[in-house]
Each structure stands twice: as C-alpha cells, then as structure tokens.
Amino acid sequence: MSRDVPRSPRDRILDAATGLLADGGRDAVTTRAVSAEANVQAQTIYRHFGDMRSLLQTVAADGFQRFLTANTRHEHGTDPVGELRAGWDLHIEFAQANPAIYTLMYGERRLGPGGDESTQVYEVLRRIVERAAAAGRLALPVDTAAAMIYATGIGVAMTLITTDPATLPAAQSLSANTRDAVLGAVTVDASDRATDRTADDVARHAIALRALLSHGNEDLSPAEAALFEQWLGVLARRRAAAADHRGGSSPA
C-alpha cells in the first residue's frame, strides 16, 4: 500500500501564497498569512525565497508555466490562423480564471534579461505567426504582427479583469471583437478573393454612412431614413456574416 509523499515546506509555501493571492489579491500575501497557511516559520520563507517579492515572482513564474503548458497543446495544427484564434481565447480564459495571478504576471512582474517567462509566452505566439507567414496568410511582417497580437491580447485581458462590467457595456463581446479586428488586420484570407475585398469595402462604407446619419439628416423623411437605415444595416451585416463563415474552419 503506497503512502502519499509529504509535501515539502517550499511547495506548501508556494501553494499558500498562490491561494492567498487568488482569494485576496496582492495585499493578502503577507509573511504572517503565508506562514500560518503553510504551517511554517517566517524564516523558512526567507530561507527558500529570500524575501516576499521573490516569492511572488516565483508564483508568477508558476503561472506562466501553467499557461505555457496549456497553450502549447494548441500548436502544430493545420491552420495557423485558427491557432492564433484559439491561442487568443485561451489567453483571455486564463486571465479571467486567474485574475490575481495574471495581474501579477503582467502588471507587477519585473525580472532581468533571460529570466522572464513572459518571453517564452511571446515566442510561442511568434512561432505560430511565422507558420501563418509561411502559409501565405500574413499581411504584415512577422515581428509587427506578433507584437500587435501580444500587446492587444494583454490589454484586453487586463481590461476585462480590472474593469467593472457595468461600466463597460461591450465587455461581453470585447475579446471576440478585438481578436477578430486584430487578426483581420494582420492576416489575409486563404483564398483572398476579389469579391471578398469588394464586400468589405461596401460594408465599411455602409457602416460609416450609418454613423453619419445617426446624427440626423434633414434631406430624408422619417420613413425614408428608416428604410435607408435598414438597407445600410443589411450591407453592413454582410461583412460580419462573411467573417463568421471564414471564422469556422479557415478564419481570416
């Protein structure tokens, strides 16, 4: 009959700090609280981690490693743009499931060259972007595209976990809309059909005209304005429908 291996003081300290961070945020991770939760003396914490800042950096490093483990499972698919979409969604899901740890990872973490696991996260993203370029799916240079996706993803994640949804009416669709906008800017459709470009141009102008007419137009009667608004809405939605269609097996 096997027995469970006793957890080391270091592991108990890390687990305690991670739990306190998740439950109470950065301010909850104090020497006294960690000592009590891990059932160790304060000097044990300092012996293993040096100080509380180093302990928190280790917690953040563990968070990066967990994210990397989950993220690399989505690599090496047949559609690199689909991988970018999946990677974006995974990034946002991780942030929302671990808001305190994510804030520590990207909001407070400061390490020297070569010691920052966030570099590894970026490199995973860059490899997928390189595969998109090799497949002829990239509209911008690799580094430019990767930096845009990386920075925008972090910005959206931080916004969602630090902003009251009541003050951000579009919060529910913010991630998907921003993801599609960024990927639409840095990638191209596999077929790149001229008809798709024409449809995009029509929709773009329809959206702009709807915005202008929303401020009123004295040349149209209320009935004419309502009918025109309906027509413009149809044209504007055609682009969204095309994007949804492309976003299935071969998103652009």
pLDDT in tens, 102-115: 888 887 655 543 34
Please state the φ and ψ torsions of residue 70, each to the nearest 5 degrees.
-70, -40
pLDDT band at 248 (very low <50, low <70, confident <90, very high): very low
Max Cα-Cα span within the chain? 87
- pLDDT of 235: 72
Q: What is the mean pLDDT of residues 164-176?
A: 83
- pLDDT of 231: 79
> In terms of DSSP H, where are the helices of 187-221?
194-213
At 119, list the tokens.
């570099």
What is the third-level CATH fold of 9-50? Arc Repressor Mutant, subunit A (1.10.10)
- Residue 73 predicted with pLDDT over 50: yes
Please state the φ and ψ torsions of residue 187, each to the nearest 5 degrees.
-120, 165
More confident residue, 113 or 208: 208
Q: Which amino acid is at 168?
A: L
Asked if 250 and 190 touch (Cβ cutoff 8 Å), the reply is yes
- Residue 77 predicted with pLDDT over 90: no
Q: What is the mean pLDDT of residues 91-96?
A: 90
pLDDT band at 74 (very low <50, low <70, confident <90, very high): low
- pLDDT of 15: 87
- pLDDT of 182: 96
Task: Record the pTM.
Answer: 0.65
pLDDT band at 154 (very low <50, low <70, confident <90, very high): very high
Asked if 129 and 149 touch (Cβ cutoff 8 Å), the reply is yes
Instruction: List the single range of 68-77, 119-128, 227-236 with lowest mean pLDDT.
Output: 68-77
Q: Give the DSSP per-residue string, 146-191.
A: HHHHHHHHHHHHHHHHHS-GGG-TTHHHHHHHHHHHHHHHHB--SS
User: What are all long-range contacts of 135-141, with beta carbons under 8 Å and residues at least 24 apart?
Assistant: 135/80, 136/188, 137/80, 137/81, 137/187, 137/188, 137/190, 137/252, 138/186, 138/187, 138/188, 139/185, 139/186, 139/187, 139/188, 140/185, 140/186
Q: Which amino acid is at 195?
A: T
Please state the φ and ψ torsions of residue 28, each to the nearest 5 degrees.
-80, -15
219/225 Cα distance (integer angstroms): 9
> Which residue has 């698919």 as its token pair?
77
Instruction: List the single range of 138-142, 210-214, 243-247 with lowest mean pLDDT.
Output: 243-247
At 89, list the tokens.
């969604």
* Distance of alpha carbon 203 from the chain centroid: 27
What is the third-level CATH fold of 59-188? Tetracycline Repressor; domain 2 (1.10.357)
Domain ranges within the chain, ordered by starting residue: 9-50, 59-188, 190-252
pLDDT band at 250 (very low <50, low <70, confident <90, very high): very low
More confident residue, 65 or 74: 65
Please state the φ and ψ torsions of residue 180, each to the nearest 5 degrees.
-65, -35
